[in-house]
Amino acid sequence: MSSLVLQTSFLGDIVLTTPLIRELARGGPVDVLTTPEGATILANNPDIRSLLVYDRRECDSGLAGFGRTVGRIRQAGIFGSHGSTIRISDESGGYGSAYLAQGSLRSAMLVATAGIKRRVGFNTSEGRRFYTERVDYRADRHHAERLWWLAKPSCDGVPTADQISPELFPSGEDDHAANAVCDSLADKSRPFIAVAPGSVWATKRWPFYHELAVRIAHEFNVVVVGGAADVAIGDAIVSQVPKGSAANAAGRIGFLASAALIGRAVALVTNDSAPQHIASAMNTPTVTIFGPTVPDFGFGPLAPGSTVAGVRTLACRPCDRHGPQRCPLGHWRCMRELSPAEVFGLLTQTLSQSSSV
């Protein structure tokens, strides 16, 4: 019996959905409806039969795009991968189940309109009235585990670390792109620390990566990772350290190539953003900097040896589940009062722990 997973949220959430996909694949073929960016990062995943791209902001926007997407879901449910082989999943000729990893009303309406009879999602989701099964949203658990429970709502016990560990699958071409970045460093025998200074949310961008890079460069190479919006800050960071000891890969290689690069790093320093989840998938120890958000929301690093940094004494933390564009109180102390020395100390501790394993 085939299943459809819907995940059209942020890249980090998409990465954290891979344990759910892996668990579902144990029982039959799994297709995933996701964004164009999500399809890029889920490429090569052996647990996924087909990727259905839903570009809701561009070519699939509006009612016409909604209708086309419903049609693609129906066709994929009947014909399976690429429409080449008939794979009847249930009496209606479609998917046996849909799993709403992204709980918007639109996602719920898509699968309901497509005629998928069993629709599983969280009891807190916006689209829950369209679900046939509602699973408890375990606010006290990591989000990778919360998503995993969608596949096992009646299971007793707690999943193992391996069961909720995310996975990504860079291709040979991605490895080649990552190697090219490493080859640009003057001393390629010197290990490197990856830093990810970006975030969609302005208040989640720690402002002292330049100073941290200077400290790191005394002992390690530095590689900046991120998206197109991070090119300028990446160039500024590289300019602060000795020539040849740093490289800026932000916006210059793809998602999975960035994952391959992070997998080669001895550690990653990042904000509370997608790179920490990529590092979890690549098993790279991570120091995650939390400002307006906190790891208790369920989005901390999962790689062994990882740790988190934050100003724990502020009564105003957390102020938002995602991170506002501006500090509500105007002082932004949650980031300004976290020093490069403190973050470097946590990084040193993380490196010491990982080297002793």
Q: Are residues 332 and 222 in the same domain?
A: yes
Based on the domain organization, do 215 and 136 belong to the same domain? no
User: Same domain for 324 and 210?
Assistant: yes
For 279, the 3-state DSSP assignment is helix
Residue 95 pLDDT more than 60?
Answer: yes
pLDDT at 250 over 70: yes
How much is the pLDDT for 355?
Answer: 65
Domain holding 317, by residue range, is: 173-356
Cβ burial of 58 (10 Å; 0-12, 13-18, 19+) is exposed
Structure tokens at 293: 């958000």
Does 57 share its domain with 189? Answer: no
CATH number of the domain bearing residue 201: 3.40.50.2000
Using alpha carbons only, give the angle 243, 244, 246 rounded to the nearest 5 degrees.
Answer: 95
Give yes or no: residues 208 and 328 share one domain: yes
Name the token pair of 244: 């040849």
Q: Is residue 184 part of a domain?
A: yes
In this structure, the answer to whether residues 334 and 199 fall within a common structural domain is yes
Of the given ranges (69-73, 85-89, 144-148, 192-196), which has the lowest mean pLDDT? 85-89
pLDDT digits over 290-306, tens only? 999 999 999 999 999 99
- Give yes or no: residues 180 and 108 share one domain: no
CA distance 136 to 305: 30
165 within domain boundaries: no
Cα–Cα distance between 177 and 180 in angstroms, integer?
Answer: 5
Q: Is residue 158 part of a domain?
A: no
pLDDT value, residue 76 = 84
Q: Which of 148, 181, 200 lies at the terminal end of a domain, its last residue?
A: 148
Position 92 scores a pLDDT of 40
Q: Are residues 252 and 352 in the same domain?
A: yes
Strand partners, 194: 223, 268
In this structure, is residue 162 part of a structural domain?
A: no
Task: Check if the beta carbon of residue 323 is closer than 8 Å to that of residue 199.
Answer: yes
| Cα–Cα distance for residue pair 210/195, rounded to 1 Å | 10
Q: Judge if 188 and 328 occupy the same domain.
A: yes
Note the pLDDT tens digit of each residue in 326-336: 999 999 999 99
Residue 236 lies in a domain: yes
Residues 90 and 231 in one domain: no
Only one residue has tokens 């909604």, namely 66
Domain shared by 186 and 294, yes or no = yes
**If you average pLDDT over residues 10-18, what whole number do you get?**
97
pLDDT of 77 reads 77
Judgement on whether residues 124 and 210 belong to the same structural domain of the protein: no
- Is residue 164 domain-resident? no
If one counts the domains in the chain, the total is: 2
